[in-house]
Every structure is written in C-alpha cells, then in structure tokens.
C-alpha cells in the first residue's frame, strides 16, 4: 500500500549535452584492474563506465550555471560575481560576511589558524579528514562528541549525526570552556555515512554553547542534504521549505566552512562565511596570503558565478528530493534483493557491507577492497573501499587497524546519472552477489606510508 501512495519522482531536468560513456569488455576490465593493482583509485577514469567513487566536484552544472560562466567578470578586484555569490550566501545561508576560497579545506585552514591556539581542544560530531588535520596543524586536539548511535551501523536512529551534549559537557568540565574556541558541527556527517543532525539538537547545542561562550561553526558542505532530512523526519518542519530550514539551521551557528564541490553544484569552489566582524576582518586578511584577494579567494569570476547560481538551484525541492531519492532508490532495490547495506540509507551514498557479503574472507584478505574490484570487473562501475585499507596502521605497534566495518561506498554525483544507470548498478551488484562464494581475497603487495588506500597495490590470492 505504501508503495502505491508514493508518487515516483523523475529526474527534474532534461538532457541538453551528453558525455558518452565508454563500455568496456570484461577482458579489457580485467587488464585495467590488474594494471591498477586492484585499487579503484588507480583506475583511469577512461576505463570506468559508471563512476561512483565520489560526489566531490563531480556534479553536472545546469544550462543556467553554464550561461553564468560566460558572464565571468575576471577583474582582479571587486568582481561582480563575488557580489552575486555574497548575496546568495547571505540570502540562503544567512551569514553576514563571505570569504571565498578555492575549496572547503581553504576555508578550514583559515578559520583554524585564526581561532585555535596550541593546547586548545576542538570538539566535533565525528571528524572529517581535512577539517581535523587543519585543527591539529593549528595546535588543537580534536575530541569526538557525536552520539554513540553514529558508530553503530545497525542503529536506525533518524539523526545519527547529533551532538551528544553530555560528551560536550564532560569536555567543558575537564578542560574549561576557555580552552575550546569552537565546536564544529558537520551537517550532515560525511564520515558517519552522511547522517543528519536534527534541528532540535542544533537548538540545544546552540543554547549550551551560548551559555559557555563557545562558538558553533558548521561544516555546511552538505547542509542542504541535512535540511532535506529535517523536512522529512522532523514533524514540525514538514511544511517548511528547504530554504527556510537551511536558513534556520545556520542561525544556530556563528560561521561555516563550505566545500562548494558538494551541495553547491559546482566542480570547484568553497567559502568561509561568518557573522563576527573581527574574525571576518582577520580572515579577509589571511585569505590574501593563502588563496587570493578577498574578492576571489583562488577562484575565477566564472567559478563564483556558477556557485552563486548553484546555491539557488540546490535548495529547490525538486532537486534535493531527486538527488537523495536516487540514493534511496538504489538502497531500497538492494535491500529488496537481500544484499547487505548500511541502514538507514543516507544522503549521498549507499554502503555495501563487505563482511556480510563475503563472509568467507578474513579481514586481512581485504573483503571491501576485493568487493570493489569485483564490482568493477563485473560492470565497469567504480566504488571506493572503506575498511581495513582505509583504516591504515597503528603508528606504535605497526599492526593494521581492524575496523569494525568493511564497506564499499557507492557515491552518487549530483544530476549526473539517470535511473537506468541506477538499475544497471543494482543489477551488477546482484550479479556479484550471486557468485560471491567463488570470490577470492587479495593480498597487499605495495603499501605507501601515508593514506595508503589511495595508492596501495594488490594481487589476487
């Protein structure tokens, strides 16, 4: 009955320009996979059919954004595209001041350098790789204050990104609020699998932090996706627009860092947005050192124009419903086939549980790496390992970390693939699932020292 009540959505656009996809034979894929050492990061994108490696900077821009690219004002100072971007950020995110940056980590670098002094602590609802690194480079120590459910892949909590106020309070009591320059709130939480934060949690967090004079800084990279989940999961917000929800969310923070390569529907760009004049003034000073003049921050005028237009498009209900609807569609189909995935399905990716998928492989035989390789071999679809290879080694003992989860991530770029591509993806996963018992594991034959998942090489056992 539920199924009949739900009206299908279709992609809310039609296609004007096409980029042909290359279909390869199994023989060609076998060769490409061996050349890449069974690591999907080392495949040439030319050998990939459907690329679900990441949704970062892989968005398709609209005709309106492309038209905006032609209106790029490439003046060194005071480009009109900067003012358009500033207007869009003020209108939709609600912050007063804007500092453009080349991408998200540029903004993270600047805010970390300004606010963190050596010996300080920076709590956050789970870490993100670049965010935490910039905090550490500035002399801070990251402290995880996300609710326990975030670490449990079988928990069906609707807002697994929520901040645990008890954990935050314990830190404040232990180190003192003056040692905490700000709290980072990721909306949504990428490393927890794109899990959202509820509006009621954001309000409580704001109240608590105000009482203790601690700033709240959003990682707003996927805030529009978070707004979608608030609308569909938090009763009081079901009749509010995505734009209204986004604006209210940001009102519970002092600033945000943003990677425009996600929500903002562009291929490159980011920004820092703030409400405090003093901090803005310093950030505007610093951006000149690291990114470029404060009215372009490492971006061309046309990039800023595309981002301004992308922001406006990103908050449209038809867009966000179809964007997340596509991820949910794949999640539902895989679940119907009995294929093990992480639930609830989140905003940008479906995670396959490789431990359950390939129960005959020991973790040291790299089940997730193996599954990603097999899926490519089967279909030319590229995914990413999130398991023992990504986890790396313990610096002290030199042994592998053995993470609880062995996952592969199927990440959906915005507006790039159609429902038919989704169907093919599901069919390909199912075909691998049907021959899972015959799949053999891998051994690592080359291991780089840092972030080994990018360049490690493997051979079949």
Q: Which residues of this chain interact with ligand PLP, rule CB under 6 A?
A: 56, 103-105, 128, 130-131, 186, 190, 219, 221, 259, 261-262, 270
To the nearest whole angstrom, how small is the minimum distance from the Cβ of residue 326 to ligand PLP? Answer: 18
The catalytically annotated residue of 49, 95, 453, 458 is 453
The 3-class secondary structure across the chain, one letter per residue, is CHHHHCCCCCCCCCCCCCCCCCCCCHHHHHHHHHHCCCCHHHCCHHHCCEECCCCCCCCCCCHHHHHHHCCCCCCCCCCHHHHHHHHHHHHHCCCCEEEEECCHHHHHHHHHHHHCCCCCEEEECCCCHHHHHHHHHCCCEEEECECHHHHCCCCCCCCCCCECHHHHHHHHHHHCHHHCCEEEEECCEHHHCCECCCHHHHHHHHHHHHHCCCEEEEEHHHHHHHHHHHHHHCHHHCCCCHHHHHHHHHHCCCEEEEECCCCCCCCCCEEEEECCHHHHHHHHHHHHHHCCCCCCCCCCHHHHHHHHHHHHHHCCHHHHHHHHHHHHHHHHHHHHCCCCECCCCCCCEEEEEHHHHCCCCCHHHCHHHHHHHHHHHHHCEECEEECHHHHCECCCCCCECCCCCCEEEEECCCCCCCHHHHHHHHHHHHHHHHCHHHCCCEEEEECCCCCHHHCCEEEEC
To the nearest whole angstrom, how small is the minimum distance from the Cβ of residue 128 to ligand PLP? Answer: 4
Beta strand pairing call for 381-382 and 384-386: unpaired
Contact 216, 205 (CB under 8 A): yes
33 vs 258, beta carbon nearer ligand PLP: 258
37 vs 270, beta carbon nearer ligand PLP: 270
Tell me whether residue 129 is one of the annotated catalytic residues: yes
In 3D space, the residue among 164, 166, 181, 206 whose CA is nearest the CA of residue 121 turns out to be 181
130 vs 316, beta carbon nearer ligand PLP: 130
140 vs 367, beta carbon nearer ligand PLP: 140
Residue 16 Cα to chain centre, angstroms: 27
The catalytically annotated residue of 97, 128, 376, 433 is 128
134 vs 309, beta carbon nearer ligand PLP: 134
To the nearest whole angstrom, how small is the minimum distance from the Cβ of residue 269 to ligand PLP? Answer: 8
Tell me whether residue 262 is one of the annotated catalytic residues: yes
The catalytically annotated residue of 51, 164, 219, 254 is 219
To the nearest whole angstrom, how small is the minimum distance from the Cβ of residue 212 to ligand PLP? Answer: 25
269 vs 367, beta carbon nearer ligand PLP: 269
Residue nearest to ligand PLP (CB): 104
The catalytically annotated residue of 129, 148, 211, 446 is 129
161 vs 325, beta carbon nearer ligand PLP: 161
Tell me whether residue 76 is one of the annotated catalytic residues: yes
To the nearest whole angstrom, how small is the minimum distance from the Cβ of residue 167 to ligand PLP? Answer: 20
Contact 104, 270 (CB under 8 A): yes
To the nearest whole angstrom, how small is the minimum distance from the Cβ of residue 28 to ligand PLP? Answer: 31
135 vs 379, beta carbon nearer ligand PLP: 135
To the nearest whole angstrom, how small is the minimum distance from the Cβ of residue 444 to ligand PLP? Answer: 27
To the nearest whole angstrom, how small is the minimum distance from the Cβ of residue 350 to ligand PLP? Answer: 16
Tell me whether residue 453 is one of the annotated catalytic residues: yes
Tell me whether residue 128 is one of the annotated catalytic residues: yes
The catalytically annotated residue of 386, 409, 414, 415 is 386
Instruction: Please list the active-site residues.
Output: 76, 128-129, 219, 262, 386, 453
């Amino acid at each position: 009955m539920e199924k009949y009540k739900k009206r299908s959505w279709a992609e809310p656009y039609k296609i004007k320009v096409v980029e042909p996809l290359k279909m390869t034979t199994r023989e060609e894929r076998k060769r490409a996979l061996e050349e890449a050492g069974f690591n999907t990061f080392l495949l040439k994108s030319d050998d990939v059919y459907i690329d679900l490696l990441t949704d970062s900077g892989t968005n398709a821009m609209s005709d309106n954004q492309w038209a905006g690219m032609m209106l790029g004002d490439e003046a060194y100072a005071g480009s009109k595209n900067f003012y358009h971007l500033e207007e869009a950020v003020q209108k939709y995110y609600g912050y007063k001041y804007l500092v453009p940056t080349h991408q998200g980590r540029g903004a993270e670098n600047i805010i970390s350098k300004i606010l963190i002094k050596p010996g300080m602590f920076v709590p956050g609802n789970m870490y993100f790789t670049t965010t935490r690194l910039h905090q550490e480079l500035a002399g801070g120590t990251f402290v995880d204050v996300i609710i326990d459910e975030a670490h449990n892949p079988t928990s069906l909590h609707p807002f697994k990104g929520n901040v645990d106020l008890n954990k935050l309070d314990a830190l404040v009591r232990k180190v003192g609020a003056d040692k905490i320059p700000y709290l980072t709130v990721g909306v949504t939480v990428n490393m927890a699998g794109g899990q959202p934060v509820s509006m009621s949690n954001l309000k409580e967090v704001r109240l608590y932090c105000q009482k203790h004079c601690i700033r709240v800084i959003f990682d707003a990279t996927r805030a529009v996706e978070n707004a979608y989940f608030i609308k569909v999961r938090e009763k009081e917000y079901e009749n509010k627009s995505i734009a209204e929800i986004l604006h209210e969310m940001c009102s519970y923070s002092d600033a945000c860092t943003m990677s425009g390569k996600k929500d903002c529907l562009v291929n490159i760009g980011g920004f820092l947005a703030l409400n405090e004049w003093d901090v803005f003034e310093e950030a505007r000073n610093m951006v000149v050192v690291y990114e470029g003049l404060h009215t372009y921050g490492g971006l061309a005028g046309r990039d800023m124009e595309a981002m301004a237009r992308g922001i406006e498009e990103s908050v449209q209900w038809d867009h966000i419903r179809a964007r997340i609807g596509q991820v949910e569609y794949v999640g539902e189909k895989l679940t119907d086939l009995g294929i093990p995935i992480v639930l609830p399905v989140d905003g940008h990716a479906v995670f396959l549980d490789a431990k359950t998928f390939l129960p005959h492989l020991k973790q040291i035989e790299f089940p997730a790496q193996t599954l990603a390789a097999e899926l490519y071999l089967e279909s030319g679809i590229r995914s990413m390992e999130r398991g023992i290879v990504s986890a790396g080694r313990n610096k002290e003992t030199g042994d592998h970390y053995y993470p609880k989860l062995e996952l592969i991530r199927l990440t959906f770029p915005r507006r790039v693939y159609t429902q038919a591509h989704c169907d093919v993806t599901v069919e390909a996963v199912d075909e691998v699932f049907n021959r899972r018992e015959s799949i053999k594991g891998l051994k690592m034959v080359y291991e780089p020292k840092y972030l080994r998942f990018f360049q490690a090489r493997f051979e079949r056992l």
